[in-house]
């Protein structure tokens, strides 16, 4: 189960990764990363930094393999 303390906003994720929030949104639109949860009413994504870093590693590895 995801601990609420582990969940961060898109803006906070962007800051921690050194990118803009729009870049995070673009990666999500491309299917490279998936939020831990999306609030049903607002549609706002909440992320777990370690999960996103792993998802980005997989994308990078797939590109290295020519996929």
> H-type helices in the chain, by residue range?
10-17, 21-29, 49-64
Can you give the pLDDT at residue 4? Answer: 75
Per-residue pLDDT, 64? 72
Report the pLDDT averaged over residues 26-47. Answer: 97
* 8 touches 44 (CB < 8 A): no
Q: pTM for this one?
A: 0.83
How long a stretch of residues is the chain?
67
Sign of the Cα pseudo-torsion (30, 34, 35, 41, in order) = positive
């Amino acid at each position: 189960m995801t601990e609420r303390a582990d969940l961060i906003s898109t803006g906070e994720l962007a800051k921690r990764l050194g990118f803009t929030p729009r870049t995070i949104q673009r990666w999500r639109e491309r299917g490279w990363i998936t939020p831990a949860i999306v609030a049903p009413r607002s549609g706002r994504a909440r992320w777990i930094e370690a999960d996103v870093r792993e998802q980005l590693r997989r994308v990078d590895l797939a590109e290295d393999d020519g996929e």
